[in-house]
Amino acid sequence: MQKLLALVVVAALAGGVVVATPSSAQKGPIKIGMLVPQTGPLAANGKDMINGFELFFEEQKYRLAGREVKFIVEDDEGKPATGITKARGLVESQGVHLLTGPLSAAVGYAVSPYIESKKIPAIYPIVSADDLTQRKRNPYLVRTGWASSQPSHPFGKWVVDNLKYKKIAMIGYDFAFGWEVAAGFQRTFEEAGGQVVQKVWPPLGTSDFAPYLSQLRRDVDAIYAVFSGADALRFGKQFAEAGLKEKLPLIGGGTFTDEHVLRVQGDEVLGVVTALHYSAALATPANKKFVAAYEAKFKQVPSYYSEGTYVAGIALKAALDATGGDIENVEKFLGALRRVDLSDAPRGPIKLDDFGNPVQNVYVRRVDKVNGRLQNTVVHTFPNVSQFWTYKPDEFLKAPAYSRDYPPCKAC
């Protein structure tokens, strides 16, 4: 009898017929598939991403909108071909309702056309490649993280106005992430009257930075660096060992001193100033609560990678609550996802623009030592920063995408 009622209930009411649809619980579990590197050089960052989701789902007792959540993680190894293969397995063999991750921009770009072809919703909490929500935007993909150049835009002018630096040399990753982070800074730094006089591009995984450090010009006000993970650790140490720390101030992209590497960095990065949309030292009630819960569970401070996936969980819950858990109705779910209220996220208030990218605070952070531990102290907040900064989106998108050579280095 119960089985029959679960399938359909027909009642005559006021001359009409009402058909009851299955409840959220009767629809079965919501399957969420995550692509993330669990092996290779990005595995530690990937673990932080998994941690953020696990903390959120545990807080929700693995239930959202009345439905059980099944969280399935696959190792994409940070490789595009592997990412596509694992995405196919999650969608076509395991029947996931939503894809999330990855970490690598290359994997993010590779998987995006597959997501669109299968019309499956996707949340990208970390991949920051600019064009994913610009020239190559995908209607089935919502990004809850950031665009690579987004924090750099307000930071460029701020450096001229507040640090009074007018001449800068850049050193950073020789692939899209490094180019985009550096380019956003160069554009606004030069519009504010500064000059970028050199760009040096070491490859990912450089173990010996000596040849690149020797190339850096010494007649500059500061060095702008774009690295993360083990590369950030090695560059910071070797920069100091080369005797450059006392001569040339370091500033840079936020991942250079993000908590995922700040945990193991030393005094060589004291005083480094960067810009990003998150700091574990952010003194808001929502962030204090998140940091305390994360530290209690994982015995370390959260990084932007872990906060990013935690926020993706908040967005997912809000969209499911708004649709009564109906993730099977893809258009309805995506519409709700794009309208979610993220005003109380750990990083601060977030709203999504028409391109599916967050408009959010950007923080200028300085590495300080507090109670014997390094932290990214927030020294300035830019509220409601768009991926297009103060530029009109249509004009911004007519220009070439940020790259190794754009904007050109006219003062080099």
Say how far apart CA 145 and CA 50 lie, in whole Å: 15
Q: What is the pLDDT of residue 5?
A: 37
Boundaries of every domain in the chain: 25-148+283-360, 152-279+362-398
Q: Please say whether the beta carbons of 318 and 144 come within 8 A.
A: no
Q: Report which secondary-structure segment, H or E, holds 310.
A: helix 304-322
* SS3 category, 374: strand
Joined together, the tokens standing for residue 96 give 């996931």
Q: What is the pLDDT of residue 18?
A: 36
The angle, 0 to 180 degrees and rounded to 10, between the axes of the packed helices 105-118 and 80-88 is: 30
For the chain, how far is it from start to end, CA to CA, in angstroms? 79
Distances in Å between the alpha carbon of 376 and those of 85, 303, 304, 358, 370? 38, 11, 12, 22, 10
Beta bridge partners of 172: 226
Q: With helix as H, strand as E and coil as C, how does 376-411 read?
A: EEEEEEEEEECCCCCCCHHHHHHCCCCCCCCCCCCC
CATH of domain 25-148+283-360: 3.40.50.2300
Q: What is the pLDDT of residue 111?
A: 97
357: number of CA atoms within 13 Å, CB side? 29
Helix residue spans in 60-103 (DSSP H): 80-88
395: number of CA atoms within 13 Å, CB side? 4
Find the angle CA(376)-CA(195)-CA(270) to the nearest 5 degrees. 20
pTM passes above 0.85: yes
pLDDT per residue rounded down to tens, the chain (412 residues): 443 333 333 333 333 333 334 455 568 999 999 999 999 878 889 999 999 999 999 999 999 999 999 999 999 999 999 999 999 999 999 999 999 999 988 899 999 999 999 999 999 999 999 999 999 999 999 999 999 999 999 999 999 999 999 999 999 999 899 999 999 999 999 999 999 999 999 998 899 999 999 999 999 999 999 999 889 999 999 999 999 999 999 999 999 999 999 999 999 999 999 999 999 999 999 999 999 999 999 999 999 999 999 999 999 999 999 999 999 999 999 999 999 999 999 999 999 999 999 999 999 999 999 999 999 999 999 999 999 999 999 999 999 999 999 999 999 9
Q: What is the pLDDT of residue 204?
A: 87
| Closest listed residue to residue 275, CA positions, set 303, 256, 248 | 256
Q: What is the pLDDT of residue 41?
A: 78
Say how far apart CA 87 and CA 79 lie, in whole Å: 12
Joined together, the tokens standing for residue 61 give 């007792």
Q: Please say whether the beta carbons of 142 and 356 come within 8 A.
A: yes
Say how far apart CA 330 and CA 92 lie, in whole Å: 16
Q: What is the pLDDT of residue 40?
A: 83
Fold of the CATH domain 152-279+362-398: Rossmann fold (3.40.50)
Helix residue spans in 27-151 (DSSP H): 43-59, 80-88, 105-118
Helix residue spans in 137-277 (DSSP H): 152-158, 176-191, 210-215, 229-241, 259-262
Q: Which amino acid is at 185?
A: F
Say how far apart CA 51 and CA 380 lie, in whole Å: 28
